[in-house]
Amino acid sequence: MADAAAQVVIAEPLSRPAPGTFGRTVGFFRTLMRTKPLGFISLIIILLLAVLAAFPGAFATHEPADTRAGVRLQKYCLGPRDTFLCPTVVEKSATFGDRNVPGKLSNPFGTDQLGRDNYSRIVYGARNAFYVGVGAVVISTALALLIGVTSGYFGGRYDAVLQRLVDAVMALPVLVVLLAATTMLGGATFGKLIVLLGLLGGFSGSRVIRSAVISVRSAQFLEAARVLGATDARIMVRHVIPNIFGPLMVQATIGIGSIILAEAALSFLGFGVVDPDQPTWGQMLQISQQIASIRPDQLVWPGLFIALAVFSFNMLGDALRDLLDPRLRGARGSFG
């Protein structure tokens, strides 16, 4: 009995179950919010813009192409009338005389020179911006993977020849190529812009992918896969690409912002989509600059949303780079 009482039973430590996919996702966003607050705020802004892009009809107050002669060039109206939030402007006209143009809450961002509601056009412009940005990034990512993975994995003469082709494409001035291509193709459409921007972005993005592949090319798990008889194609698809997921996500995130900016630049120069039923932020800037001398506030809203979208994608990509690359964790401040 004494011997039995003297026996000490040592309990085995309880093993904590590994978190599932949902738990890892929640943990990642919690880490993003705690360590990279600016990146988390940028993610919230992107999600809000994505909701606008997905359901523009639910948020817009007018059709984007509706023209109303009686309400043209209204000021913005974001609060009580005849205050700085909703000013009344005096429009001078030699033909019709002076008239007061009060702001209306139904047109929170005012109207353009054709009486179209700026707020509704901004909302529908978000849809087109995301459509071009995401579509072009899908093409550029696929092309970057094809070039970067094969070039970095095989190396040698194949890598040298392919990289000289990439050098030649990257040496071309992107904006000039886009202007020439859209002119030769008979004008821009969203489909043409997606393909052109995706192809140009794919060549430049392949450099980042190639560097990531070279860093894992001599890893032991790849050697083990070769010993087990895995083909080169299987190794690249099953082992190489999953291990460069971090740089790939960062590049795709920042790429969307760059493509939105490039599309806006083309539209501002008059080489973008000119369909009034399909407004873009760059198209709105191009129209607003025609009357910038008398109504500079018309430039504010499309310019603000372009800057907000590009800034948010860049900041989110920067935060993802710091979180997904262990070498960069803690290398920047908490607001990076």
16 pLDDT more than 80:
no
Q: Looking at residue 333, what is its pLDDT? A: 44
Per the model's pLDDT, the better-predicted residue between 100 and 182 turns out to be 182
Its sign, for the CA torsion 75, 79, 82, 83, is: negative
333 alpha carbon, distance to own chain's centre: 23
Indicate whether 240 pLDDT > 60. yes
Burial of 227 (0-12, 13-18, 19+ CB in 10 A): exposed
Angle at CA of residue 81, ends 80 and 87, nearest 5°: 115
Question: Which whole-number Å values give the CA distances from 136 to 9, 29, 141, 220, 332, in the listed order?
Answer: 64, 26, 8, 35, 30
- The predicted structure's pLDDT at residue 206: 92
In this predicted structure, what is the pLDDT of residue 32?
83
50-76 residue pLDDT tens? 999 999 989 998 898 888 877 788 888
Has residue 336 got a pLDDT over 50? Answer: no
Query: What pLDDT is stored for residue 274 in this prediction?
Result: 81
Q: For 73-84, what is the mean pLDDT?
A: 84
What integer pLDDT is reported at residue 80 of this predicted model? 86
Q: Identify the burial level of 298 via C-beta atoms within 10 angstroms of its C-beta, where 0-12 means exposed, 13-18 middle and 19 or more buried.
A: buried
Residue 77 has pLDDT above 80, yes or no: yes
Residue 94 has pLDDT above 80, yes or no: no
- Mean pLDDT value across the chain: 84
Mean pLDDT computed over 228-246: 88
> What's residue 10's pLDDT?
47
**What is the pLDDT at residue 8?**
46
- Of 57-71, 247-261, 305-319, the one with minimum mean pLDDT is 57-71
Q: Does the pLDDT value for residue 3 go beyond 70?
A: no
**pLDDT range class, residue 97, cuts 50, 70, 90:** low
Distance CA 267, CA 287 (A): 10
Of 153, 163, 146, which is closest to residue 213 (Cα–Cα)?
153
For every residue of 115-153, DSSP letters joined together read --BHHHHHHHHHHHHHHHHHHHHHHHHHHHHHHHHHHHH
Check the CA dihedral 162-166-167-169 and report its sign: positive
Residue 19 has pLDDT above 90, yes or no: no
Report the alpha-carbon distance of residue 209 to residue 193 in Å, rounded.
23
Highest mean pLDDT among 96-110, 174-188, 191-205: 191-205
State the alpha helices, DSSP H only, in 155-293. 156-170, 174-184, 190-216, 220-227, 232-235, 245-268, 281-288
pLDDT higher for 335 or 32? Answer: 32
Percent of the chain topping pLDDT 70: 87
pLDDT category of residue 105 using cuts at 50, 70 and 90: confident
Q: Provide the 3-class DSSP secondary structure of residue 313.
A: helix
Q: Give the amino acid at 147.
A: I
CA–CA distance, 23 with 10 (Å, rounded to integer) = 31
Least confident segment among 1-10, 87-96, 306-315: 1-10
CA distance 289 to 295: 9
Residue written as tokens 């190794």?
Answer: 235
Residue 174 reports pLDDT greater than 90: no
Indicate whether 288 pLDDT > 70.
yes
Contact 267, 285 (CB under 8 A): yes
User: Which one has a higher pLDDT value, 297 or 130?
Assistant: 130
